[in-house]
Amino acid sequence: MNQKLTSVLLLSFFAYALFAQDTKKILIIGIDGCRPDVLQFASTPNIDGLLPNSIYSYHGLNNDITYSGPGWSAMMTGVWSNKHGVTDNNFNGSDFVSYPHFVKRIEENNPDLYTVSISQWHPINNSIVLDFADFKYNAPTEADVTSEAINQLENEDPDVMFLHYDEVDHAGHAHGFSEQIPQYVTAIEGVDTQVGLVLDALYERPNYPTENWLILLSTDHGGIGTSHGGNSPEEETIFYIAHNENFVAQIITPDTIAVTDPTDCIANQFHLSLDGDDDMVDIPHFTELDFGVNQDFTVECRVKTSNAADIAIIGNKDWDSGGNKGFVFSFRFATGPEWKVNIGDGANRVDINDGGAIADNEWHHLAVTFDRDGQMTMYEDGVLVTSLDISAIGDISNGSPLRIGADIDGGYDYTGAIEEVRLWNGLITPAEINTWKCTSIDNTHPSYNNLIGYWPLNEGSGNLANDISALDNDGIITNPNWSALDSVVTYENTPKITDIAITALDWLCLDLQQSWNLDGRSWIDSSTTIMATADEVPGSLRSTINNSCAEDSIYFHPILNGSDFVLTSEIEIPHNLTLIGSGISETSLSANYQNRLFLITHEINFNLTGMTLQKANETINGGAIYNQGNLLLKEIVFKDNFEGSTPKTLTNIRRIKIENVVEVKN
C-alpha cells in the first residue's frame, strides 16, 4: 500500500567501519617523435592491451610548432606557444610563471601528493618541470627511465608520475619517420616493451586494488623524412590514449563533413589523394618526354594541399639538385609558402619561386609554359604570375619517367590531391590556359593536336592512371587513395596536445580556474553519462561514481527495456554528488534483496532524481539507503525494500529533503 515517506530516527548508533575510497593517481607516458600511424603498424601488445578500456585517438594534433621544446611545453602546461612562449628547443622567452607545468597546480592544491618526473630528454625536467615536482631524474637511456619508474612504484608511493622515452625520435632522425623504416618500427616496439615492464610493476603494487590509476600516453610530434618542425600531417598528427580499468572503449576519429567546394570547378566524381608516404603515379618514359634543347612544352595540373614543403608535385628529374636534367613543380625551399617551378640541364638551372601560397586546402590550377629560346612563364588559376629567361638552358632529356607525387627516385613525396594533369609539346596561350582551367580537355581545345599526355586522375578505383590523349601512356599508381570531391575531414573534435595536462588536472578533481587561461580540454568527461546495463563492468554506475569528482552530476540513462539495473553490493557515495535517472518508469535500481543500494556518510550531500529504488534488504540499518549525511529526493519511488523481514524504506540519521513526488510502495 502507499504511505508517506517518514524519517526513521535511530535511538542508538551502530559501529560502522568506513571503507576507504579508491585513491586517484596518474601515470603519464610520453614517447618522443612517435607517429600514430606507425604505432598502429608496429607490434605493440602492451600499449594495445590498454585500448579496450581507453578513450583514445590516433588523430590528435599538435597543430602549433612541431619541435620538442614547444611540444612538451604545450603538453605539460595545457596552453599553446603564444602563451607558454617556447618556440624552439632553447626555451628562450618561456613564461612558466604565468603558465606553469601542471604539477605545480597539483602541488599548490595538495602539497601532500608525491609527484615524479623521469625524462630521457633532460630539458623537460631542467626547463619545464623546474622545481615543481617532488622527485626528478634525468635518465641516460630508456632502460634507466624504466628502472627508476619501477623503483618509484615498488619503493615509493607516487600520486603523479611522468615518464619520457626518446629512442623513437632518435631512430626517426637517424633513419626516417616511416613504417617503411625498420629501425623506426623497431624503436617503437622497443619502447612498448619498456611500457610493459612499467605496467607490470604498477599492477603488482600491494595497494593497487584500492588505487584508481589514470594512464595517459601521447607524443610531442611526428616526423617526415628524417626531421620535424613543419606543418605537415605527418609532423602534426599525434596519438592520445586515456586509460582506466573502468572506462568503456571510445575511439575518437575526425569528422567528415559534406561540403560544396567553391574552388572545385571540374565535374569529377573522384580525385586521387596522395598521403606523402611513398604514394605516387609512375608514367614510364616515352619518346615525347625527350624535350631536348629546343622543344617547347607546357605542363598543367590541378592541386589541393595544405602542406608546403620541399616536395615534387610533378616532374621528370632527380630533385636532389635543381641543376639535374628535367623539370619539377614544387615549393620554395624549405617550407614555401610559395609554389615554384624549376628546370635544369645538368649544369644550369632556372627557378621561379614567386607562385602564390597555394597550400590552403583549396583547389588551384597550376600551369607553366617553357619557351626554350625565350621565357619560362608561370600561371596560377589562369592568371600570369611571372616569367624568367630560360634560353641558356640546354638539353634536358634524361630518359626518365614522368612522376606525379614524387621525383624520379621516389623521394620528395607530395601530400594532397591532384587531378587534370596535362602535357603539351607546344606553348599553350594565356587565353587557352584561362579558358580551360576549369574544363576537361576534349578535341575542341584549340591546341588539341599538341596534347601528348592527359591524366584526369578521376578513375575512382584501381591503380591505373589512364592517359586519354592519343598517345595512351597509362601510369601506375602506388597505394591509390580515391576520395570523393564533396567532403572534407576536420580535426576540430579530436584531441590536441594541450589536452593531456587538462585531463590530468580533471582526473584529480582540481577546479580549473578561468584565470589560468588554459587552452586544452579533458576527454574523460564522457564517463558521466551512463549507458551500461550491468554492475561491476567498465562504464557502470559504480565505476562512474568511483571516478567522479565532488559536485559532479551523473546522468544514469541505461536502456533497460523494463528490467532492473541490479547492484551486486551497496555503493558508498564518496563526496557531494547528483545522480539523475531517466524517470521512475525508465530507470529502476534493484539489489535483489541482497544488500542496500546506497550509503551516504557524514557531511556528504547526495541528490537523487528520477528513478525507482527497489528490492533492497539489510538486516541492520536496512532499506534502500542508509543516510548519515544530507539527502535530497526528487521524483523517486521506493518499492519492496526491507530490513530483514520488515518492510523499511530507508534508514536516516541526518537530513532528508523531499521535492515533487516521492512514493513508497510495499
- Assign 428 a pLDDT band (cuts: 50, 70, 90): very high
pLDDT cut 90: percent of the chain above it: 80
pLDDT digits (tens, 9 = 90+) for 591-618: 999 999 999 999 999 999 999 999 999 9
3-state secondary structure of 525: helix
pLDDT digits (tens, 9 = 90+) for 151-187: 999 999 999 999 999 999 999 999 999 999 999 999 9
Question: What pLDDT was estimated at residue 334?
Answer: 87
Residue 354 maps to which CATH number? 2.60.120.200
Task: Look at the chain and report how many structural domains it folds into.
Answer: 3
3-state secondary structure of 641: coil
Same domain, 420 and 501: no
pLDDT at 2 over 50: no
Give the residue-averaged pLDDT of 645-666. Answer: 88
Tell me how far apart the alpha carbons of residues 543 and 524 are, in angstroms, rounded to a whole number: 13
Same domain, 478 and 550: no
Give the residue-averaged pLDDT of 337-358. Answer: 96
Same domain, 72 and 210: yes
Question: What pLDDT was estimated at residue 20?
Answer: 36
Question: What pLDDT was estimated at residue 8?
Answer: 29
Same domain, 437 and 505: no
Yes or no: say if 246 and 546 are a contact pair by the CB < 8 Å rule.
yes
Residue 618 lies in a domain: yes
Task: Match 615554384 to its residue by C-alpha cell.
Answer: 340
Residue 15 lies in a domain: no
3-state secondary structure of 481: strand
Give the residue-averaged pLDDT of 570-579. Answer: 94
Question: What pLDDT was estimated at residue 248?
Answer: 81
Question: What pLDDT was estimated at residue 21?
Answer: 46
Residue 1 lies in a domain: no
The residue range of the domain holding 355 is 270-488
Residue 617 CA, chain-centre distance (Å), reads 47
Tell me how far apart the alpha carbons of residues 63 and 350 are, in angstroms, rounded to a whole number: 34
Tally of CB atoms within 10 A around 92: 10
Tell me how far apart the alpha carbons of residues 581 and 592 are, in angstroms, rounded to a whole number: 19
Tell me how far apart the alpha carbons of residues 235 and 225 are, in angstroms, rounded to a whole number: 10
* Cα angle value 438/443/444 (rounded, 5°): 65
Residue ranges of E strands in 459-604: 464-465, 475-478, 481-484, 487-490, 529-530, 552-556, 565-566, 571-573, 577-581, 588-590, 598-600
For the record, the C-alpha cell of 394 comes out as 640546354
Question: What pLDDT was estimated at residue 261?
Answer: 65
Task: Match 616493451 to its residue by C-alpha cell.
Answer: 193
Give the residue-averaged pLDDT of 408-428. Answer: 96
Question: What pLDDT was estimated at residue 15?
Answer: 25
Residues in CB range of 452: below 8 A, 6 or more apart: 288, 423, 424, 425, 469, 471
pLDDT at 335 over 90: no
pLDDT at 267 over 80: no
Same domain, 198 and 284: no
Same domain, 422 and 300: yes
CA distances from 542 to 21, 51, 534 (A): 12, 21, 10
Yes or no: say if 106 and 115 are a contact pair by the CB < 8 Å rule.
yes
Residue 265 identity: C
Q: Comparing 129-138, 204-213, 544-553, which segment has the lowest mean pLDDT?
A: 544-553
Same domain, 462 and 553: no
Residue ranges of E strands in 447-551: 451-455, 464-465, 475-478, 481-484, 487-490, 529-530
User: Which burial class, exposed, middle or buried, applies to 665 when counting CB atoms under 10 A from its CB (0-12, 13-18, 19+)?
Assistant: middle
Nearest to 95 by CA among 115, 68, 74, 118: 74
3-state secondary structure of 260: coil
Residue 16 lies in a domain: no
Yes or no: say if 176 and 185 are a contact pair by the CB < 8 Å rule.
no
Helix, strand and coil content of the chain, in percent to the nearest 5, comes to: 20, 30, 50
Same domain, 181 and 40: yes
Same domain, 505 and 553: no
Tell me how far apart the alpha carbons of residues 81 and 580 are, in angstroms, rounded to a whole number: 40
Task: Match 578561468 to its residue by C-alpha cell.
Answer: 514
pLDDT digits (tens, 9 = 90+) for 230-266: 988 899 999 999 999 888 888 999 876 555 566 778 8
Q: Who wins on pLDDT, 279 or 202?
A: 202
pLDDT at 149 over 70: yes
Question: What pLDDT was estimated at residue 10?
Answer: 26
Of the chain, the end-to-end C-alpha distance in Å amounts to: 6
Tell me how far apart the alpha carbons of residues 325 and 348 are, in angstroms, rounded to a whole number: 9
Yes or no: say if 245 and 473 are a contact pair by the CB < 8 Å rule.
no
Residue 3 lies in a domain: no
3-state secondary structure of 118: strand
- Mean residue pLDDT of the chain comes to 91
Give the residue-averaged pLDDT of 8-16. Answer: 26
Yes or no: say if 221 and 30 are a contact pair by the CB < 8 Å rule.
no
Dump the DSSP string for 165-198. Answer: E-HHHHHHHHH-SSTT-HHHHHHHHHHHHHHHHH
| Alpha helices by DSSP H, 284-375 | none
pLDDT digits (tens, 9 = 90+) for 374-387: 999 999 999 999 99
Q: Backbone dihedral region of 603: left (phi > 0), alpha (psi from -120 to 50 degrees) or beta? A: left
pLDDT at 524 over 90: no
Residue 432 lies in a domain: yes
Yes or no: say if 218 and 241 are a contact pair by the CB < 8 Å rule.
yes
Same domain, 339 and 249: no
Residue 264 lies in a domain: no
Residue 165 maps to which CATH number? 3.40.720.10
Question: What pLDDT was estimated at residue 148?
Answer: 98
Tell me how far apart the alpha carbons of residues 520 and 501 are, in angstroms, rounded to a whole number: 8
Tell me how far apart the alpha carbons of residues 387 and 378 are, in angstroms, rounded to a whole number: 6
For the record, the C-alpha cell of 193 comes out as 616493451
pLDDT at 1 over 90: no
pLDDT at 57 over 90: yes
pTM of the model: 0.64
Give the residue-averaged pLDDT of 185-192. Answer: 98
Give the residue-averaged pLDDT of 366-381. Answer: 98
Residue 14 lies in a domain: no
pLDDT digits (tens, 9 = 90+) for 481-509: 887 655 567 888 899 999 999 999 999 99
Residue 304 β-bridge partners: 363, 417
Question: What pLDDT was estimated at residue 11?
Answer: 24
3-state secondary structure of 236: helix
Same domain, 496 and 440: no
pLDDT cut 70: percent of the chain above it: 94
pLDDT at 4 over 60: no
What phi, psi does 351 have (nearest 5°)?
-130, 130
Tell me how far apart the alpha carbons of residues 238 and 63 are, in angstroms, rounded to a whole number: 10
Give the residue-averaged pLDDT of 465-478. Answer: 96
Residue 415 β-bridge partners: 275
Give the residue-averaged pLDDT of 52-56. Answer: 94
Same domain, 464 and 343: yes
